Amino acid sequence: MADTPDQTADKIVYILNGPNLNLLGTREPETYGHATLSDVEALCVRTAAEFGLSAYCRQSNHEGGLIDLIHEARGRGAVGIIINAGAYSHTSIALHDALVGVKIPTVEVHISNIHVREEFRHHSFTARAAFASICGFGIDGYRLAISGLAARIGAKAKDKARA
């Protein structure tokens, strides 16, 4: 993916992935599947484009890096954030506060169903800062999140017949 958001796009969606998601495809495939982070990013770019949106995909293993990206999203005028904060979802009040502070429509995504996993994964601070939370659909949850965000902000699917 590009190192900077597409400056010509006026409808940027930040797709933020947290710790260990760079290991998708090799880390616990029985839980997270065989798709890689590159597969996730390609799915997000394609899905966002269907709604006339530009996906800006970033991953960080560092809480502060994710917070910086959330702040950057506001500065760049992003119309939405899709976030899979990984384990930080369950521990980070700072990520919650950053999401609340920027006032950008946000959807939380988890690849696995966090509610059938360990008890400590059942609570999410980031979910409380999002208008929706999706879990358990594998990487297809990102597609669902972008579709839901598009509906929330009034972005309509482009007519594929004209494309």
Domain boundaries, the chain: 12-153
What is the pTM assigned to this prediction? 0.88
Does the active-site annotation cover 110? yes
List the catalytic residue out of 88, 96, 110, 142.
110
Residue 7: predicted pLDDT: 47
Residue 40: predicted pLDDT: 97
Instruction: Evaluate if residue 149 carries a pLDDT over 50.
Output: yes
How much of the chain, in percent, has pLDDT values that exceed 70?
A: 83
Query: Is CATH 3.40.50.2300 the classification given to domain 12-153?
Result: no
CB 67 within 8 A of CB 54: no
Average pLDDT (39-51) is: 97
Region for 89 from its dihedrals, namely left if φ exceeds 0, alpha if ψ lies in -120 to 50, beta otherwise: alpha
Does the active-site annotation cover 142? no
The DSSP-derived string for 96-122 is: HHHHHHHT--EEEEESS-GGGS-GGGS
Q: How many helices (H) and strands (E) does the chain have?
A: 5, 5
Average pLDDT (29-42) is: 82
List the catalytic residue out of 14, 32, 88, 142.
32
